[in-house]
Structure 1
């Protein structure tokens, strides 16, 4: 076939198609135990994390991780590791086939010694001990879990019973018990993975609560300061007071936006994690048992209020930002009006000064014409009187009477022309400077 006839694929087509099959379920035989860890990881430290895990795998005679890998499965005899990298966290799930069934007596730190031999990739956040047992070896749930928070439900058409209290035990793990009564290995694998994801994303979703608790005092202070500023806005009169108040509003807006920008990712991520938790609950298909608290009811009673607190603070930030913007806009309008009034007064003062200057100029021009005309006529008088002495018929006084008006007119025209030319040249220089600026 002519290579020119091949279809040119999109640059991301292979990655998109592989993503659908990136994290398939694995069959899990009963009994089994899964020890699941989740660590927050930073982008700059992820290469070091992958290298540390790759070195651990090679040291235990297993294959190294591929470059740029985001998920990997490796086996160490009867122990299997599933490693996954997500947007802001990394998970390690250790799967032990046919593990000890006595969950109350097992030492969790002894179950996952491999995890403690690997360099910790980041702050530890999630630790889950998921035990899958047969009905004949199922322990008493009331001795294993706290009665006040015990949740028990069934799944897989009643063939699987799931129990947990969502509490951390003495070893730092949240325990989940699955009693399998005939569910195939592949279905148990899917159920186990969804349960692990449910608990992982539940914890991740609640990361926004400490952030909201840290931000709430600052938001409350900004709200009170905004109330004081809007009240003061109605009382300020001078331009300086309005400008000082405007500066305070700008500082408040900057503080609010800094906090909102800092919490933007956390609140958005928690909202996404909450949706994933609800999706996992729906996918598992929990069925209630008589006189037992259900998973959705427990999460709605404990988790929903915490998330609502965070989302309520986020909404307060948005509304407060809008109010600050409106208050700033109103105050800017008030400052602009005051500045326009001030500019108007300045222009009126300048106009009055210009009128006075024009009158002064006209007076000076009149005096200048009179003075120059007087001296010119006096000079001409000497000349005409001299002519009168040389000629008997020449009348000097009559000549003076005729020449004086002409001299005054010529002097007036000359002085007015020169003054106006000087003013025009000055205006042209000012205009040229403005254009240059």
Structure 2
């Protein structure tokens, strides 16, 4: 029995499902999850010392590659000064100043410890600032596991959503309206019907949890216009795509200015840092200035902030995002060539340092189209790639991530592994 199998058996005794986050369990693809013991650059090693090219990157934060020496040095120095104080530090100021500099729509920012904290706090702030209850989200967008966000679409057009998790009362989701991603007409109809009651619209401008799906320009422009017209707050959930697709996030890439933004992943450099921020007049509603309460004992933790601040400095290097995007596009171009060569329904798409692979004829633009992809073929592809030493997300509904350490030979190795894997799983 392998160490991975042994560890998984042990873990299931003391941890529900043997994992501390559901997607790690391999439930959607089958098999035994890999227990990782080491990571460096573009590579990870499992408990059995097998090396993999990693395309998860801790679900996005490892944009510089794993264990970047300058990030490690910053963390080591911070540790020597103490692990946590429960009091303000200069590093928190520096982090806030850096975020506000890089994301112009953010005039003030509050640091938290997770993406879920960031989005749930932004929602509470939006409701408190507008004194409204209703929110709009979109099918397939994941904004963390807060109760009002664990919602699926209702049974008909413009019906309010139903809880997608046990333990979430229907009363918690009755104010959440779930619409189709990239559907401008539905958005217009929702505001016609409920405009004066809608506190906010929350959206992933680049969705990463129904695989990689890009918002259209028309979709984003429509929600910006409608929010402005009706006094609703536009929240960009850039926990995943913020600093992943461009230095100023997706909002800089698309030229849309949200009222509030949620950030995470990259801004922690691999440690637990997230944030939400936006217009100062909205942020002034937060305690201790206003009546919207939000707090966190470990918010702005000095060790985590050291990792995040160093990462934010390093990604500002000249041509960093040009090179990252080029490497990601090389990977995607290779995948698309293979689909054509082998005449199978297999394609890929990319933006910045994120990519998606799809077992369908064309790149999807909605949750419904994603759900029509061949999930069974993905499972076989995932395990074939794993056998070839390529570590992809263990789900057909998760984006992949490229780092600054995914050099040409790494990309070429991955493309060759994909070709062999697809031949292996599609041969009659």
TM-score range, shorter chain: under 0.3
Decide which structure has greater helix share.
1
> Larger C-alpha radius of gyration, 1 or 2?
1
Q: TM-score, normalised by structure 1?
A: 0.21
Point out which structure has higher relative CO (alpha carbons under 8 A, 6+ apart): 2
